[in-house]
Chains A and B, each alone.
Chain A
């Protein structure tokens, strides 16, 4: 069975700090994709970043980057220069057909 684990139910940091959200997963597939989704208090689920498992290079989208360790089955999200608008639930998800979701991490950015 495929699983995704997010071990941090809640985190809070000061604005402008860097924060890293953890995610580990388990799959027997060789080809798969990993995603981080963001769900702000308004509840619209938004894709933050994606990583193809066959690519060694870590994905980056502006202030968001991942640390993908395939052998360790780890996929953490780093948010640099955090902003108040980054306050949201963050879900890690694994896909090779359907999305397998982690339980989510509630991130609070404090002014």
Chain B
């Protein structure tokens, strides 16, 4: 089945120690998103890629970076995690069309704990 895969599902890192979360998709969608979701809140968009074009949200901290080496893979790098970065990180994809719905398909998420 076509899907969005996130690894690892659980990640524990130390305060200030860089961490990388990965996302892969078999849907062949050209748009990939990274969201941060804290408990019982709506997902907060960090950034997205439209093909290779990177689009950063204005309020995304510089501490968060992303890479998309090819259509299938996208990475979220947190350069110096703080306690406030502990959250669920969701990857999503969509197929962008001129009159498209931009319906997004989500991975299972990576729960990040910062100690």
A residues whose Cβ falls under 8 Å from a Cβ of B: 31, 33, 35, 42-47, 50, 52, 89, 91, 95-99, 101-104, 106
Please give, as numbers and ranges, the residues of chain A lying within 8 Å of B62 by CB-CB distance: none
Say which size band chain B's interface belongs to. 20 to 34
Q: Decide: A45 and B41 in contact? CB cutoff 8 A.
A: no
B residues whose Cβ falls under 8 Å from a Cβ of A: 40-43, 45, 48, 88, 90, 92, 99, 101-109, 111
- Cα distance A31–B101 when bound, in Å? 10
- Cα distance A4–B45 when bound, in Å? 15
CB distance from B41 to the nearest CB of A (A): 7
Please give, as numbers and ranges, the residues of chain A lying within 8 Å of B40 by CB-CB distance: 89, 104, 106
Q: Decide: B45 and A102 in contact? CB cutoff 8 A.
A: no
Dominant SS among interface residues on chain B: loop
Please give, as numbers and ranges, the residues of chain A lying within 8 Å of B111 by CB-CB distance: 43
Please give, as numbers and ranges, the residues of chain A lying within 8 Å of B101 by CB-CB distance: 33, 50, 52, 95
Q: Decide: B42 and A95 in contact? CB cutoff 8 A.
A: no
Which of A46, A50, A101, A106 contacts B42, CB < 8 Å? A101
Which of B42, B102, B106, B109 contacts A104, CB < 8 Å? B42
Which of A33, A46, A101 contacts B102, CB < 8 Å? A33
Q: Decide: B42 and A102 in contact? CB cutoff 8 A.
A: yes
Name, among A35, A43, A103, the residue most crowded by chain B CB atoms within 10 Å (CB to CB).
A43
Q: Decide: B109 and A91 in contact? CB cutoff 8 A.
A: no
- Cα distance A42–B107 when bound, in Å? 12
Q: Decide: A43 and B103 in contact? CB cutoff 8 A.
A: no
- Cα distance A98–B42 when bound, in Å? 14
Q: Decide: B43 and A97 in contact? CB cutoff 8 A.
A: no
Q: Decide: A91 and B42 in contact? CB cutoff 8 A.
A: yes
